[in-house]
Amino acid sequence: MTARMPDTPLGQPSLQAVRLSKSFLSGHVRVQVLQGLSIALYPGELSLISGPSGCGKSTLLSLLSGLQHPDEGQAMALGEDLGAMGARALEHFRLRHTGFVFQGFNLFPALTALEQVQLPLGYMGLKNAESLHRAERALDEVDMSHRSHMRPAELSGGERQRVAIARAMAKEPQLLFADEPTSALDAESGQRVIDILHRAARAHGTTVLCVSHDPRLVRHADRVLGMEDGAIRNDWRPNTVNQE
């Protein structure tokens, strides 16, 4: 497949990296992970950051979601400079506007699927009736309504990941971050998970940023950002390429 630069979507970017740099201390050596990286991501798309382990893709996701701060540059989300926010403001921003899906599911062993999804909605200040309605709707969207009464130990890996996605989607976030969401799953479960994430972008206008080294995800993404050694080496739209 020949890489090509994507056409610029209409509208303002919902996520931007502006000359981002980030390094970490490893023993006595400082390792430069990102250096002057810039990208712009848009609503209604699933953007995949693909590349080998250690290339900096998870660091980029952490910076764009406000989980880490850059050494230099700006991480912009919904027009806000995340680095300029205080800790409380950043926590409030993430609660209101972002959802997260991780490789390890991060579910509470004692809670049912419905309770898992409903829990963060209470932190947002929603009343019980509204949070219950949203949780049930989100579980239905990921085809897990029939498992809503079950706890994580009673669910397969793929089902647990779908509950985790429902928990993120129930918040109705504008930004959804997924870090290696299929790496612990078999092929069929991984396929279902990436289909759900793609549908979330299209149906709700969500900006979905997914980090993975799983090559199966490439053909399901709207846009693929190939990373190597802390830099974006390729930027293309698989569906556009396939049509040419």
Quick: pLDDT tens for 1-57: 333 334 444 578 999 999 999 999 888 888 899 989 999 999 999 999 998 888 889
Residue 124 scores a pLDDT above 50: yes
Structural domain includes residue 111: yes
Structural domain includes residue 78: no
Share of the chain above pLDDT 90, in %: 65
Structural domain includes residue 156: yes
Structural domain includes residue 110: yes
Residue 156 scores a pLDDT above 90: yes
Residue 200 CA to residue 47 CA, distance in Å, equals 12
Structural domain includes residue 16: no
Q: What's the CATH number where 63 sits?
A: 3.40.50.300
Structural domain includes residue 89: yes
Structural domain includes residue 8: no
Nearest to 232 by CA among 68, 19, 7: 19
Domain count, the chain: 1
Residue 33 CA to residue 41 CA, distance in Å, equals 20
Residue 75 scores a pLDDT above 90: yes
For 98, the domain range is: 42-69+85-243
- Tally the C-alpha atoms within 13 A of residue 142's C-alpha that lie toward its C-beta: 34
Structural domain includes residue 154: yes
Place of tokens 């900096």: 56
